Structure formats: structure tokens, C-alpha cells
Amino acid sequence: MAVQDVKGSIVPGSSVPGFLSKLWLLVDDADNDELIGWSHNGNSFIVQDQTRFAKEILPNYFKHNNMASFIRQLNMYGFRKKANLEHGTLKAEKDDIEFQHPNFKRGKIGQLELIKRKVSAREESKLRIDNVNRILNDVQDMKGKQDNISGTLEGIQRENQVLWREVVHLRQRHEKQQKIVNRLIQFLITMVKPVGLKRKP
Amino acid sequence: MAVQDVKGSIVPGSSVPGFLSKLWLLVDDADNDELIGWSHNGNSFIVQDQTRFAKEILPNYFKHNNMASFIRQLNMYGFRKKANLEHGTLKAEKDDIEFQHPNFKRGKIGQLELIKRKVSAREESKLRIDNVNRILNDVQDMKGKQDNISGTLEGIQRENQVLWREVVHLRQRHEKQQKIVNRLIQFLITMVKPVGLKRKP
DNA sequence: GGTTCTAGAACC
DNA sequence: GGTTCTAGAACC
């Protein structure tokens, strides 16, 4: 029973997720060295026999014995698989696998709390939906404003037509009036002016 | 060498992908019955020992020996894992797995061509990017049109102001002129009318 | 179209 | 936050 009171016991004051605590114990425990342990430089860890590891070790620490689930968690916490450098090694019969994380290193137990679980798929998807909804809302808004502005424009264009008509009408009236005034003045002049009067040179 | 001329040899006239042809052979071949075979009703197939199957059978048909890659292909072609009905069976030591597809059934080899590979992730992603780009273009367009319409609106509003000023101005001139006309007429009347003249009753 | 590594999503 | 099944994406 290596698991019982593991949670939080490694880095007491901090909140390191159960998976990371257990993973550290798993890798660091010399008892497991046959199946899982640190790489030579301590910057990664290596599982020697995936099948045996999954069936014999995993269920002691987690609620399953599936390598796939273990790998899913590793990826969830940002671990990356290291490329197998030796592909020409005795054909096929290599069943090992190596993972690393910049903050998962031998001796650097304090860095465990720097390893963050990626934002859950659910939240991410919600975020994405939110973003799309935001865009759709924006477009809706723009459409509304466009309709508004189009309405205003039409109103103003109508008003403009009316104004133009009134301007033309007023100008015509003004012209007519001007003619009347001119004629009246002309008439007055002929009334006042004695016939045959000459201008001074 | 079970693989060599498999491609297209099962359903000659059609284009069944290599994976499906090989899968059919794999399941249908009685030589493999210890590790993979049809379920009792022939509507699904069962792998008995994933680890042995992956290491011993897979490389004879495919270019790898990974169960994960095999499962990835199954999912790609729409196969679904069947839930393990018997979870209380002798604790843990069950390493079998069962998959099914509506068109993958014992004896129904002709239905193989109805199984379609899902649209590749790449195409899908391109489609999605295209869609986003289309939306962004639309928004861009709308923005452009909005700017245009705003410009037009401002122009018309200015024109409107000018027109209003001209209307006011014309009305004022008209009023002044009217007064002049009235005064002139008044004047003419006083000139023409004899002083003290009375109206008839 | 196949293989590999990582992520999404549902369910717990 | 853990486990499982399926899909995305890159590379071949």
C-alpha cells in the first residue's frame, strides 16, 4: 500500500495533484526500478516493460491498469514522450517508453508544483463556444446597428428631398416676387417721372 | 506472408481500403482464433490477449506492433468498442477487447465497402479554418460597408444642414420681400385713392 | 491512406 | 480531478 497517505505528503505546504505525487513516488522508488525509474541524467523517466508495468505497478497507485490511461494523464500534465533513439535495437522486442517534463526531474521535488494540469477539455470547449457566441453577438449587434443606420439614412434622405423641393419652391416664389417688386417699382418710376425729362450729362 | 496480395483481392470490383481488407482476413482466419476472432453472433470481433496480439499478429499485417495504432485505425473507420459486460470476472486478469461496426459482420463481406474512413483531420481542420476565414471576411466586409454608409450619412447630414440654412434664409428673404411688396401696394393705394372718399353702404 | 503522439469529450 | 473511448494533427 504505497498510496494511502501520499496526497500532499511530498510537498506539504503546496497543492500538488495526486497524480503528480504518485508519479514521483512511482519513479523515485527503488523497489520499482526493474520496471520504471529515472533516466541516467535524471531529466526523464523510463518504463521498461509497458505490459508488466501496467498490470503490476499501475493498480497499486491508480484505479486502473491501463497504459493508455496512464499516458493520457501524462499528456494532460504536459509530459512529452521522448523519441526512441535506438530503433535498430534487436528488432521489435523493445517495449520501453520514455517521458519527460521540464519540471519533473530527479532531486527537484520542489518543482512539482510548477507542473500544471492543462485546462480541462470541457472548459476549453466552453471557452471556444463562448468565443463563437461572442462573435455571433457582435455580428448581431453590427447587423442591428447597420439596420438602425440604414433607417436613419433613409429618413434623412427623405427629409433631404423635401428640403430640396422646398428650396426650389422658395426660389421660384422669390423670383416671382422679385418680378412683382420690379414691376411695381417700374410702375412707380413711370408715375413719378415727368414725361420727356432728360438726364444731366 | 498473409498480407502480400490482399489489397483489393477480397471484394475485387470495389475499393476497400487496405486496413479493412486486412482486418477482415485477420478476424476471419481460423489460424488466429486463439488471439482474435468473431464474437458468437458474428456482429463483432474480440481480441483475447491484447499484448500477445499486438506483438505476434499485428506486425504480420501492418507496419507496427502497437495496439494503440490498431485502435486508432478502428476508430478512424467508425468501429466502436463494446462495453465489457463482465467486469467481475476473476479480478483484473482479463486483457480482451471487443469492437464492432454495423457493416463489419461475419459472412457479410460485401458490406465492407460501405465502411467509410472518416474525413481526415486535416481536411476537417481546413474546413473549419475556411469557415472562420469566411466569417472574418464577412465581418470585414460588413465593417467596410458600415464605414461607407457612415461616410455617406455624414455627407448627407452636412448637405442637410446647408439645405436647412438655405431654407431659413430663403424664408426670411421671402418675408422681407413680402413686406416690401405690401408696403408698395399700400403706397400705391394711398396714391390712387382720393382723400376722404367714402364707401358705399 | 497509415502510424504516432497528444487532445477532446463524456462519464465518474 | 481521474478514467475511458474517440478524435485531432503531424509526419510519413
Estimate in Å the CA A148 to C1' D11 gap, whole number.
Answer: 52
| Strands A97-100 and A80-81, sheet pairing | antiparallel
**pLDDT surpassing 50 at residue B90:** no
Cβ atoms within 10 Å, residue A86: 8
- Residue to substitute from A153, A162, A175, A191, interface B, most B β-carbons within 10 A: A153
Chain B residues in contact with A132 (beta carbon < 8 A): none
Kindly state the cell numbers that stand for B121: 483531420
A92's CB contacts (< 8 A; 6+ apart) are B55, B59, B65
Distance, in Å, from the CA atom of A13 to the CA atom of A151, rounded to the nearest integer, reads 64
Averaged over B83-98, what is the pLDDT?
Answer: 65
Q: Which residue has the higher pLDDT, A38 or B186?
A: A38
Quick one: pLDDT band at residue B121, thresholds 50, 70, 90? low
**Terminal CA-to-CA distance of chain B, rounded, Å?**
138
Distance, in Å, from the CA atom of A89 to the CA atom of A81, rounded to the nearest integer, reads 19
For cell 422646398, name the residue. Answer: A166
Calculate the alpha carbon distances from B21 to A52, A109, A157, B5, B120 in Å.
32, 51, 71, 11, 20
| DSSP reduced 3-state for B4 | coil
B200 touches strand D (CB under 7 A): no
State how far residue A149 is from chain B, nearest Cα, in angstroms: 8
Quick one: pLDDT band at residue B93, thresholds 50, 70, 90? low
Q: Which residue has the higher pLDDT, A129 or B98?
A: B98
Cβ atoms within 10 Å, residue B67: 20
Chain A residues 132-151 with a CB less than 8 Å from chain B: 135, 138-139, 142-143, 145-146, 149-150
Averaged over B77-106, what is the pLDDT?
Answer: 79
B67 touches strand D (CB under 7 A): no
- Predicted pLDDT at B11: 55
- Predicted pLDDT at A7: 43
| DSSP reduced 3-state for A25 | helix
Q: Full-prediction pTM beyond 0.85?
A: no
| Strands B44-47 and B80-81, sheet pairing | unpaired
B73 touches strand C (CB under 7 A): yes
Quick one: pLDDT band at residue B7, thresholds 50, 70, 90? very low
Estimate in Å the CA B120 to C1' D8 gap, whole number.
Answer: 9
Summarize pLDDT for B44-85 with one digit per residue, the tens. 999 999 999 999 999 999 999 999 999 999 999 999 999 876
Summarize pLDDT for A26-37 with one digit per residue, the tens. 999 999 999 999
Chain B residues in contact with A163 (beta carbon < 8 A): 160, 163-164, 167
**pLDDT surpassing 50 at residue A90:** no
Distance, in Å, from the CA atom of A166 to the CA atom of B64, rounded to the nearest integer, reads 88
Summarize pLDDT for B136-193 with one digit per residue, the tens. 777 778 888 888 888 888 888 888 888 888 888 888 888 888 888 888 888 888 877 7
Point out the residue among B55, B142, B185 whose CB comes nearest to the CB of A146. B142
- Predicted pLDDT at B126: 60
Estimate in Å the CA B114 to C1' D2 gap, whole number.
Answer: 37
Estimate in Å the CA A96 to C1' C12 gap, whole number.
Answer: 31
Q: Is B191 on the interface with A (CB under 8 A)?
A: yes
- Predicted pLDDT at B97: 94
**pLDDT surpassing 70 at residue A13:** no
Contact between B95 and B10 (Cβ < 8 Å): no
Does B171 sit within 8 Å of A171, measured CB to CB? Answer: no
Tell me which nucleotides of strand C come within 7 A of a protein CB. 1-11
Summarize pLDDT for A159-196 with one digit per residue, the tens. 888 888 888 888 888 888 888 888 888 888 887 776 66
**Nearest protein residue by Cα to C1' of nucleotide C1:** B17
- Residue A113 exposed, middle or buried by CB count within 10 Å (0-12, 13-18, 19+): middle
Distance, in Å, from the CA atom of B127 to the CA atom of B144, rounded to the nearest integer, reads 25
Estimate in Å the CA B158 to C1' C11 gap, whole number.
Answer: 64
Quick one: pLDDT band at residue B2, thresholds 50, 70, 90? very low
Distance, in Å, from the CA atom of B102 to the CA atom of B79, rounded to the nearest integer, reads 8
Name the nt closest to B18 by C-alpha to C1': C1
Nearest to A119 by CA among A62, A77, A70: A77
Point out the residue among B65, B68, B139 whose CB comes nearest to the CB of A139. B139
**pLDDT surpassing 50 at residue B194:** yes
- Predicted pLDDT at B81: 95
| Highest mean pLDDT out of A120-134, B2-16, B101-115, B120-134 | B101-115
DSSP string over B15-58: ---HHHHHHHHHHH-GGGTTTEEE-TTSSEEEES-HHHIIIIIH
Does B170 sit within 8 Å of A167, measured CB to CB? Answer: yes
**pLDDT surpassing 80 at residue A123:** no
Distance, in Å, from the CA atom of B69 to the CA atom of B75, rounded to the nearest integer, reads 10
A87 touches strand D (CB under 7 A): no
Point out the residue among B157, B163, B185 whose CB comes nearest to the CB of A167. B163
A43 touches strand D (CB under 7 A): no
- Predicted pLDDT at A81: 95
